[in-house]
Structure 1
Amino acid sequence: MSESPVNVRYMVSDVAAAADWYVAHLGFSRLPNASPAFAAVERGPLRLLLSGPASSAGRPMPDGRQPEPGGWNRLQLVFADLEAEVERLRGRGVRFRNDIVRGPGGAQILVEDPAGNLVELFQPAAWG
């Protein structure tokens, strides 16, 4: 039995810009299902569902709250050489929310996609 992909949904304000960003900067591939309201990209077993305001996921909740991009929840991508990855992305103009933080488990830094959603880039302590 093969493993099924892990799906994560991010709300984005511009579906095309978000899909382009994940492909150009973080090595995701597009899945053939894009529309102005929705796109999916994948990297290994991770499928990232990018939902715009016109998607069904963008509809208001019964209490009136509106799904929106941003916040602090995030997906994590692991790298063997975090500093090299950060340097590569800075050279491409990718927006970071902080600098590399080191702790007992490893090192991490937060990048923002075009809608302000976070992606944590992480290097486990055992690797460096």
Structure 2
Amino acid sequence: MLDGSVPEPGGWNRMVIEVDDLASLVETLKGEGTIFRNDILSGVGGLQILVEDPSGNPIELNQPSEDRP
């Protein structure tokens, strides 16, 4: 990483893709048979959901909150 730190087991375990409309994207991906690990979660930073790539690796889809700096 830029700060010199390195990933550790159980640490950084996924990549994140920022999206504009998470709900619409989730519906589209469900129609394509995408595997989801959870439902959409809402938190301070916005909305997120985890999907699996064809190899089973997690990918986070994230819609940032509108009031983030």
Question: Normalising by structure 2, what TM-score?
Answer: 0.76
Unaligned 5+ runs, structure 1: 1-71
> For 1:26-74, what per-residue CA distance to the aligned partner results, in whole angstroms no more than 9, with x for missing partners?
xxxxxxxxxxxxxxxxxxxxxxxxxxxxxxxxxxxxxxxxxxxxxx711
Supply the distance in 1 between the matched residues of 2:24 and 2:36 (Cα, whole angstroms): 14
Structure 1 consecutive aligned stretches of length 4 or more whose deviation exceeds 2 Å: none
Kindly tell me the number of residue pairs found equivalent between the two proteins.
56
Of all paired residues, the percent bearing the same amino acid is: 55
User: Greater relative contact order: 1 or 2 (C-alpha under 8 angstroms, separation 6 or more)?
Assistant: 2
1-side partners of 2:18 and 2:28: how far apart? 15
> TM-score, normalized by length of structure 1?
0.42
- CA–CA separation in structure 2 for the residues paired with 1:113 and 1:104: 26
Q: Distance in 2 between matches of 1:126 and 1:76?
A: 18
Match of 2:42 among 96, 102, 108: 102
Q: Which runs of 5+ in 2 are unaligned?
A: 1-11
State the match for 1:13 in structure 2.
none
CA distance in 2, matches of 1:116, 1:92: 16
Q: Which amino acid letter does the alignment assign opposite residue 107 of structure 1?
A: L
Q: Which has the larger radius of gyration?
A: 1
Matched residue of 2:15: which SS?
strand
Q: Report the 3-state secondary structure (helix = DSSP H, G, I; strand = E; otherwise coil) of the residue aligned with 1:109.
A: strand
Q: RMSD of the alignment, in Å?
A: 1.4
How many Å apart are 1:115 and its aligned residue?
A: 1.3
